Amino acid sequence: MPKQKDGRYRSKVTVGHDADGKPIVKYASGRTKKELADSAEELKRTYVGGREVQRDAVFGPYVMNWYKTYKEPKLSAGSRQSYESIFNAHLLPALKDRQLRAITASDLQSLLNGKAGMCTTSIGYMHSVLTRVFRQAMAEGIIDRDPTLALSKPAAQKAHRRALTKAEAD
């Protein structure tokens, strides 16, 4: 593919067909062949997907929108309170202002590992929320990879128990 006069590569991308069956063409351009391929892929995501993909989504607003849309309508009042507590006390303070694409698997595993002393139910809620949020973001095309694929829950710490002495039992 030849370069344009301004030094950029340019190619046609067919993004669909109109009512008469004629192809709808958009043009992608880039200074390198990699930029050209990325630009063409972005055009396909934008037009073929039917809507603009929000690639720069931030964790805090995205997770709350996910919760309101997919989770909250199915929960009892007690479960709502538990989820909101998990969001406000643990997930949002750690990840609120970070872009979804910038969050790595090691970030998420470190977050969960830091909560190892908590009850297993709370850790399970956190693991479930993170897994479902990132799967939804991947389904919507916001992220290209799911950082929760190898995410594991930390082992629960067992409390040390000892038998009561005869005096304590009395």
Please write the tens of the pLDDT for every residue from 129-165: 999 999 998 888 888 889 999 899 887 666 678 888 9
- The pTM of the full predicted model, rounded to 2 decimals, is 0.62
What's the confidence (pLDDT) of residue 1?
66
As a whole number of angstroms, the distance between CA 64 and CA 72 comes to 10
Whether the CB-CB separation of 106 and 140 falls below 8 Å is answered with no
The angle at the Cα of 21, spanning 15 to 24, to the nearest 5 degrees, equals: 25
Residue 20 has pLDDT above 60, yes or no: yes
How many Å from the N-terminal Cα to the C-terminal Cα in the chain? Answer: 90
Instruction: Answer yes or no: is pLDDT of 55 > 90.
Output: no
Contact assessment for residue 154 and residue 116, using Cβ atoms and an 8 Å cutoff = yes
Query: pLDDT tens, 84-130?
Result: 898 999 999 999 899 988 999 999 999 999 988 888 888 888 998 99
Q: How confident is the model at residue 3 (pLDDT cuts 50, 70, 90)?
A: confident
E strands along the chain, which residues? Answer: 9-17, 23-30
Neighbouring C-beta atoms of residue 59, cutoff 10 Å:
22
pLDDT at 167: 92
pLDDT for 157 = 65
Could you tell me what percent of the chain has a pLDDT over 70? Answer: 90
